[in-house]
Structure 1
Amino acid sequence: MAAIKAVVPGARGTVRGGELVCTLDLQPTPVSRSYTVQIVYRHRRRPRITVTGPPLALHPNATTLPHVYPDGDLCLYLPGEWKEDMFLSDTIVPWTSAWLLHYELWLVLGRWTGTGDEHVVRPPQA
C-alpha cells in the first residue's frame, strides 16, 4: 500500500487478513476522464482490477467491452508477464492507466490499440 501511495498519493486502502484492497483515481492523460479503480490483491493470486466509476461505456458498434475477464476484471497483461515479486505500483498501476487510455481510444476508434489477446464479456442484461 505504501508503494502505491508513493505513486498515487490519494490512494486509499487497507491490508487485512493478507488481502490488499486499494481504491485510487487514475487519469491516463491530462485530457482524459478520471476513473476510480479498485485493486484487490492476495499473495500468490492474480491482482484483480475493476473500474468502479464512472461506468464503462461501449463503442456505438460494440456489444461487449474488450480486454476484460468474464467477471469484469480488467485484463492488463499476458500470462507470465506479471510475477508476485513485482510491485503493484510499478506494474499494475501504470498498466491500468494504459488500459484506460486504450479504452478511451477504443471508444473513439472502435478498435483496441493496445496489445494482448482479445477476449470479451457480454454486458449484463437489463
Structure 2
Amino acid sequence: MMRGFPGIAEQAEAMRRHWPASRMRRIDERSAAWLGPVRPLMARYEIEIAYRVPHIVERIDPLGQQPKVRVLSPRLLCRDNDPEGRLPHVYGHPRFDPTLCLFDFETSEWTPFDLLALTTLPWSLDWLACYEGWRATGEWTGGGRHLQPVHAGA
C-alpha cells in the first residue's frame, strides 16, 4: 500500500524540531509557508519556504510541486556581466523576487515524500553560503546544473 505524502501537520512538526525560530503561516489545508531567520556563514537572512502538498493522484511535476524558497531580507544582490549570471541558480528574474534553485528537479533529488526540514531547509542554508562566497569571489561553488544566466539588458 502506498503511503501518502507528508501533510502540512507532519511538515510543521519537523520544521518546529529543526527550525524552532520559524513561524508557520497556514494558507489552506494543503498549503503553508514558514518564515524565519537563518545564518549560513556571515550574514543573517530572513527566508520563506512556501509549500503545497500535492494530491497523491496528481501528475508529479517536480518543478511545479517543489517548495518555493525566497529570501525576504536582505535583498539578494546581482552582479551584472558575471559569467555565472546576474544571480546564479534562481528561478524568475534575478532582480524581482527570485526563488532559489536548490536541486536538479530532473534527477528526483527532492520528491513530495521528503520532509522540508531535512531537505529544503539545509539546502537553503547551503545555497546562501554559496551565494556569500559568490558575492565575495565571483565563483559559484555550489555545483549543480546552471540554468541559462540572465545578463544585462534582459
Task: Give TM-score, length-normalised by structure 1.
Answer: 0.87
Question: Closer, same or farther in 2 for the Cα pair 1:57/1:16, shift >3 Å?
Answer: closer
Offset of residue 121 of structure 1: 4.1
- Counterpart residue identity of residue 57, structure 1: L
**Contact 1:10 1:24 (C-alpha < 8 Å) held by counterparts:** yes
**Contact 1:38 1:50 (C-alpha < 8 Å) held by counterparts:** yes
The match for 1:55 is: 75
| Aligned pairs for 1:5-44 within 5 A | 5-17=16-28, 18-29=30-41, 32-44=42-54
Q: Distance in 2 between matches of 1:4 and 1:123?
A: 38
Offset of residue 70 of structure 1: 1.7
SS of the equivalent of 1:57 reads coil
Larger Rg: 2
Offset of residue 102 of structure 1: 0.2
* Structure 1 residue 115 corresponds to structure 2 residue 143: yes
Mark the runs of 5 or more structure 2 residues left unpaired by the alignment: 1-11, 55-64
Q: Distance in 2 between matches of 1:74 and 1:26?
A: 15
Matched residue count: 123
**Contact 2:80 2:86 (C-alpha < 8 Å) held by counterparts:** no
Between Structure 1 and Structure 2, which shows a larger proportion of helix residues?
2
- Counterpart residue identity of residue 34, structure 2: C
The match for 2:61 is: none
Mark the runs of 5 or more structure 1 residues left unpaired by the alignment: none
Deviations 1:3-54 (A, max 9, x none): 112111110012231111110211013xx11100001100132110000100
Q: CA RMSD in A?
A: 2.1
SS of the equivalent of 1:38 reads strand
SS of the equivalent of 1:102 reads helix
Task: Give TM-score, length-normalised by structure 2.
Answer: 0.72
Quick check: 97-106 or 58-67, which moved more?
Answer: 58-67
